[in-house]
Amino acid sequence: MRTQVAIIGAGPSGLLLSQLLQLQGVDNVVLERRTGEYVLGRIRAGVLEQGAVDLLHEARVGARLAREGLAHEGFDICVGDRRHRIDLKGLTGGKCVTVYGQTEVTKDLMDARAALGGTVVYEAQDVALHDLGGKAARVTYRRDGKAAEVVCDYVAGCDGFHGVSRGAIPKDLLRNYERVYPFGWLGVLSDTRPVSDELIYVHHERGFALCSMRSMTRSRYYIQCEFDEDLEEWTDDRFWDELRRRLPPDAAAALQAGPAIEKSIAPLRSFVAEPMRYQRLFLAGDAAHIVPPTGAKGLNLAASDIYYLSRALIAHYKENRDDLLDAYSQTALRRVWKAERFSWWMTTLLHRFPDASAFDRRVQEAELDYVTGSVAARTALAENYVGLPY
């Protein structure tokens, strides 16, 4: 098969890039290891920056998002029993975020690709990259036991943290930056009324907690846990009891428990791979970087990568210019690192670090006191949370 861009991975990064390229007449093929059902079954992000919302509308997948997405103008930070509202709209001159699950984004993208007749190959096994420095690159894979090959001008590595693309960059050229956190997030999805109309981020001596949602009838909750917890040990009742112990009294009283329709533990890490380009290969999304979900930046960074990469590829094919392609890695990394900083800062602010010294804990308390007591500090938090400019 011959195409202009081979995209590895049919998560939000790969599908969004595929849709944006085809809308501009750039031929592409997506190769996905898993089935579509498996991809949709992964419960992940929940908060979209305006930049991501705008890009989804540009990709013509914003209709359901506009109908069902929940505009959020602020959120609470709880310290002890006190709730402090971060007024996103007031502190950023009117900006807010939209609550709309990654599952729904992916579903909308899958439907749009099918409607446009896009080529998305699911269950593509043993994907491998070849000839990235040649006149054309090649991507080989197997499906239903048969070998297949895609010859292309460019490869977009949108295959997430555990994908193959990053590994195609020679080790002597690739620089990895990483911080692994000494805890994880135990997440529960339940068809219950959210405890509050807005998100609640909790700093508690027993550990961090987050009250989020997917709609006004479907809630998403997280509690900080040991990174090597045994999920089997966490019955629904144990989860609800522990969450209730970390919430302020009014929220604990309002909490509606119910059966977990999904329960999972996510490790927390900060990770960046540089550069995000090698010859004909471009990395985007989790293939290039990971943030702890505290700042709700993972999916949103994937969106800004795809914003830069789609424009660069379209400029190559429609305007015969390569300056955007040549600047892609540097342009994307500049925004990536600011989101990495914010996600690290918000994680450090809100979690209980088991190995923290007495001095560390006092500094954390002072930081919380400063953030909740200073308009300048809350403004800095708010402008990062709603998303820095592309």
Residues serving a catalytic function are: 72, 201, 293, 297, 385
User: What is d(CA 385, CA 270) in angstroms, rounded to the nearest whole number?
Assistant: 17
**Residue 252 · residue 211 · CB < 8 Å:** no
What is the DSSP annotation of 251-276? Answer: HHHH-----EEEEEEEEEEEEEEE-S
Binding characters for ligand PHB, 269-308, by CB under 6 A (x = yes): ------------------------xxxx------------
Q: Which of 132, 299, 332, 386 binds ligand FAS (CB under 6 A)?
A: 299
- Per CB under 6 A, contacts with ligand PHB among 70-99 are none
Contacts 24+ apart (CB under 8 A), 290-293: 290/161, 291/339, 291/340, 291/343, 291/344, 292/181, 292/268, 292/343, 292/344, 292/347, 293/45, 293/185, 293/222, 293/266, 293/268, 293/343
- Per CB under 6 A, contacts with ligand PHB among 176-235 are 199, 210, 212, 220
Say whether residue 32 binds ligand FAS (CB under 6 A): yes
Which two tokens mark 236? Answer: 């629904």
What is the DSSP-derived secondary structure letter of residue 286? G
Tell the smallest beta-carbon distance from residue 308 to ligand PHB (Å).
Answer: 23
Hey, is 131 helix, strand or coil? coil
Give the residue from 235, 237, 249, 239 showing the smallest Cα distance to 207: 239
Which of ligand PHB, ligand FAS, none does residue 5 bind (CB under 5 to 8 Å by kind)? none
Tell the smallest beta-carbon distance from residue 16 to ligand FAS (Å).
Answer: 8
Binding characters for ligand PHB, 12-51, by CB under 6 A (x = yes): ---------------------------------xxx----
Q: Which residues are at the interface with ligand PHB (CB under 6 A)? A: 45-47, 199, 210, 212, 220, 293-296
Q: Which residues are at the interface with ligand FAS (CB under 6 A)? A: 8-14, 31-34, 39, 44-46, 102, 124, 127, 158-160, 162-164, 266, 285-286, 293, 296-299, 302
